[in-house]
């Protein structure tokens, strides 16, 4: 019995060494991070990519002690890399049912509420059937969650663009009737790029099954690397919650 226990201990130690070596090997890999320029989540500022989503990704990869490079690409190209190449991390990616098995998901960045925006004079409203909107010209970002959602629902009259901001110009030029935008950041985008948005309003909320934004690895990325980054994400989020809780408590004390 004693020899069996010693044997089991040796096997356990060996397995731990193998796992540790594998993790060490994976840590030496430099991952390729891809994203798009989408204000206010991730955007260029003073010659580098910035924004709250970028900051979170950087904190997570730093906590995981993993080397990386960030590339800002047109969304369709970034998405293509993330579904075809190993060791690619993409953000901010909407987690939809159709995408669930195509990626290895790390963690949530934020939630979105997408609406179709159009003319303030439009009769379209929240109760307008989705099928009734197929006759309109709709602008979408190629391979975005909304683009995929509309195509699945039979929309044919789509104008695809590289960047979402191009839809504002197409609407002003009367080349499209509707385009999707995140309600929480719509006004910020209008101000950032000096768009005249007085003639636009949210008309119809899109019932996408899930529009939470995530950071995610390509399907072909090794599970050991993925798990290490997931653990780092949990660590970073726990620290953020602790800081937020402390600040809330401190503000209450300051106001007493």
For residues 203-228, give the mean pLDDT: 91
Reduced to 3 states (helix: H, G, I; strand: E, B; else coil), residue 207 is coil
Domain span holding position 193:
114-205
Vertex 139 angle, CA 207 and 211, to 5° = 30
HSE, CB side, 13 Å, CA atoms: give it for residue 82. Answer: 28
Q: What is the pLDDT of residue 24?
A: 47
> Could you tell me if 129 and 102 lie in one domain?
no
Each residue of 119-146: pLDDT tens digit? 999 999 999 999 999 999 999 999 999 9
> Could you tell me if 64 and 155 lie in one domain?
no
> Which CATH number does the domain housing residue 24 bear?
3.40.190.10
> Could you tell me if 11 and 23 lie in one domain?
yes
> Could you tell me if 67 and 100 lie in one domain?
yes
If one counts every other C-beta atom within 10 angstroms of the C-beta of residue 74, the result is 16
For residues 205-226, give the mean pLDDT: 90
Q: Is the pLDDT of residue 14 over 60?
A: no
Each residue of 141-170: pLDDT tens digit? 999 999 999 999 999 999 999 999 999 999
If one counts every other C-beta atom within 10 angstroms of the C-beta of residue 169, the result is 14
Domain count, the chain: 2
For residues 206-224, give the mean pLDDT: 89
Torsion sign over Cα 102, 106, 111, 112:
negative
> Could you tell me if 220 and 176 lie in one domain?
no
Higher model confidence: residue 14 or residue 66?
Answer: 66
Q: What is the pLDDT of residue 4?
A: 53
> Could you tell me if 251 and 184 lie in one domain?
no
For residues 186-202, give the mean pLDDT: 94
Name the nearest CA neighbour of 118 among 200, 185, 175, 174.
Answer: 200
**Residue 190 has which token pair?**
């209008």
pTM (2 d.p.): 0.75
Q: What is the pLDDT of residue 151?
A: 96
Nearby residues of 165 by Cβ (< 8 Å), 6 or more positions away: 189, 193, 195
> Could you tell me if 107 and 225 lie in one domain?
yes
Give the max Cα distance, the chain: 84
Determine what percent of the chain falls in helix, strand and coil, rounding each to the nearest 5. 45, 25, 30
pLDDT range class, residue 248, cuts 50, 70, 90? low
> Could you tell me if 21 and 81 lie in one domain?
yes
Q: What single DSSP character describes residue 162?
A: S
Q: What single DSSP character describes residue 77?
A: H
Average per-residue pLDDT for the chain: 88
HSE, CB side, 13 Å, CA atoms: give it for residue 53. Answer: 30
Name the nearest CA neighbour of 202 among 120, 94, 147, 111.
Answer: 120
Helix 2-27 and helix 223-255: axis angle, to 10°? 80
| Locus of tokens 């290895």 | 104
> Could you tell me if 71 and 152 lie in one domain?
no
């Amino acid at each position: 019995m004693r020899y069996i226990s010693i044997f089991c201990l040796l096997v356990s130690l060996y397995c731990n060494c193998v796992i540790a070596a594998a993790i060490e090997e994976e840590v030496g890999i430099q991952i390729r991070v891809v994203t798009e320029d989408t204000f206010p989540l991730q955007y260029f500022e003073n010659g580098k990519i910035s924004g709250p989503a970028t900051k979170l990704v950087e904190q997570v990869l730093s906590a995981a002690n993993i080397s990386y490079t960030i590339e800002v690409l047109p969304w369709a190209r970034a998405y293509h890399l993330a579904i075809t190449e190993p060791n690619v991390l993409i953000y901010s990616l909407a987690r939809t049912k159709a995408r669930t098995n195509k990626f290895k998901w790390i963690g949530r960045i934020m939630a979105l509420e997408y609406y179709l925006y159009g003319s303030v004079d439009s009769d379209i409203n929240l109760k307008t059937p989705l099928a009734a909107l197929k006759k309109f010209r709709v602008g979408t970002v190629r391979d975005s969650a909304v683009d995929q959602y509309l195509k699945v629902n039979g929309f044919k009259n789509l104008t695809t663009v590289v960047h979402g901001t191009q839809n504002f110009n197409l609407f002003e030029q009367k080349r499209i009737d509707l385009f999707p935008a995140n309600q929480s950041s719509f006004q910020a985008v209008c101000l950032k790029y000096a768009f005249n948005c007085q003639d636009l309003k949210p008309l119809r909320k899109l019932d996408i099954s899930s529009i939470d934004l995530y950071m995610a690895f390509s399907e072909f990325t090794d599970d050991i690397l993925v798990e290490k980054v997931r653990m780092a994400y949990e660590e970073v989020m726990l620290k953020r919650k602790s800081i937020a809780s402390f600040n809330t408590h401190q503000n209450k004390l300051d106001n007493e």
